[in-house]
Structure 1
Amino acid sequence: MTVFHRNETRDPLPERLRGGVVAIGNFDGVHRGHQSVLERALDEAKTRGVPALVLTFEPHPRTVFRPDTPVFRLTPAPLKARILEGMGFGAVIEYPFDRTFSELSASDFIHRVLLEWLHASHVVTGFDFHFGKGREGGPAFLMAAGGDNGFGVTLVDAFRDENASVISSSFIRSLLGQGDVSHAAGLLGYRYTVEAEVIDGKKLGRTLGYPTANMRLPPEVELKAGIYAVRFRRADGSLHDGVASFGRRPTVDSDGEALLETFVFDFSGDLYGEVCSVSFFGHLRDELKFDGLDPLVTQIRQDEEEARALLSGVAPLSDIDRRISLA
């Protein structure tokens, strides 16, 4: 898998990746709607016998235009790249998005990026994809450019879920803000997953008999504070069930920063400094303030029992889900 980052995108594309089918989009979340576009690109590349590539943009355009309110990323770049790799793409192009790039005309985008750099033979994107300064380039412009310059274009209609609703990243973000990780998983096609370095904490959980792996998530994460049944993946790939608390620990440290604290079942060892991931399977309850540590410990025991019961019967939602949180 090749990932071209910001400082590499001006270099010539390797010969082996030229002339491929290019799926274009931001694809934050790589949800089921995105997957319908991406799978079409994979099918087209297989039919043509050429590489399948994804052209995406870093950072998220909304973060560039509204830096004071960065977007809640469902899949930060490293996780998104791993999902795309697992789907079968040969390369992910993380093209640098900044204000200078946003001023590029639609015609220049076609010629500089798609033709002169990627040498695209076919482009696949959603039916509502717009590009270029002021979003001047739309589906009709792209189709015409393909006809004029010798590359094919496939526009994929909006994907609708079982309730005939269009799936969107913004709606999934709102579900996570309500703690509804189960509904979000149904739209993503896999369990919502975060990853971060395990950091040192106050070790209160250890004194209570429930040591936790603590992670500091980006401040723009809008996951609802609460207790969740989770799967915890170590850097070595090993997978463990657990129960996680996300929030500010109102019983013991209500003024502290928000942390994700995971009690990893049936595990003992040092996790400090490891970059690990946590996949969310179910919301057990809201964050509560208890009158002392004894009732807190009693509740933690109950949370553990509920999490073990929930996780004992889970099945993969998709191949992506199997790779991320179940295998």
Structure 2
Amino acid sequence: MSSIRGLAVLALGTVTATVVAMTMTVPPAEARTDDLVRYAWIKSCAKGDHTVPCGKWTLTLRSGRTVRLDDARVNPRRANGTVDKDAGTTFAVSGDGRVVNYLRGDVLVVRDVTSGKVVPLPGRAATLPKGLDQASVDTMLSEDGSAVVIDYLDDEERLPSLLVDRESGKIATLPAKINVMGFSPDGRHVLTSRYTDDSTTEFVVFDGAGRVTASRVVPQIVANNSPVALANDGTTTAFVVTGAMTKKARLHTYSLTSDTVSAAVRLGVSVNDGAQRLSWNPAGALTLWTSFSEAHGGQVTSAAKRTVNARTGTVRTVDSFPIKNAPWSWWLPGE
């Protein structure tokens, strides 16, 4: 997974729930509104001593139904026009699972999952800068898919990232040497990090116009752990810590305003559940996505979505499902 997403698979606490695949039949009227993305994936095929992406980008929906995206580019085009058959293209899913973003030919587009409508991103956001390989771009969608960040991963780190408001068509720029970590739930703020000349980490928050609204050189415990979530106030964050020795997952909050880290609260999740993504919702609760593997560094076999009480650490599983066929790449909502 790409650096823009700020993801780290962390080992977490004892199995507490059985992974169940949802196989119920969804009536057509309900499917139009609720049959949303669980994860997006691309198949893995053997090629000599390694594997490569193959087949089509595919969406697995909450009903268990799969949707193949025949128009989504699988292998990126190099700047010289040749295709890199060993690499895969960028892909993103909105946090609510209603919108996906991918390359259609040479154009970045978004697809409404329920209607199937596909539209290009506005203006210059739709096409890559001249001379840039398609493998050197990454994207991230806001919770409802109305905003998108495009990060150009050029070696010189000269190309600024683009922050796109899909509804207004306005495009703001973000500094090239930042790592985009995620949106606030309302999509009005973007949390980023950057390494300073003093070998410290600074968190910087931007609004939709690309203006800095908060910044702080953060403590080591904040800088060295992930995933991290930003609340709607644009200053409150939450992050997960897993002890290297105890492997017990703990949750902290951190305020960019007061520069204070909260006391830890224990998260009741399995030692084999890696914290994949963390996000706030407008009501002030947290959503934690985890991926399960039988052993550290082993093949991921399932994923789960959980709600977390930020004060107590109380966890409730709201969805769980298998990750089938060892895909070459796969993305959860919000990634």
Question: Which category of TM-score, normalised to the shorter sequence, fits these structures?
Answer: under 0.3
- Higher strand share goes to which structure? 2
- More relative contact order in 1 or in 2 (CA 8 Å, sep 6+)? 2
The TM-score normalised by the length of structure 1 is 0.28
- In the superposition, the TM-score normalised over structure 2's length comes to 0.27
Report which of the two has the higher share of helix: 1
Structure with larger Rg: 1
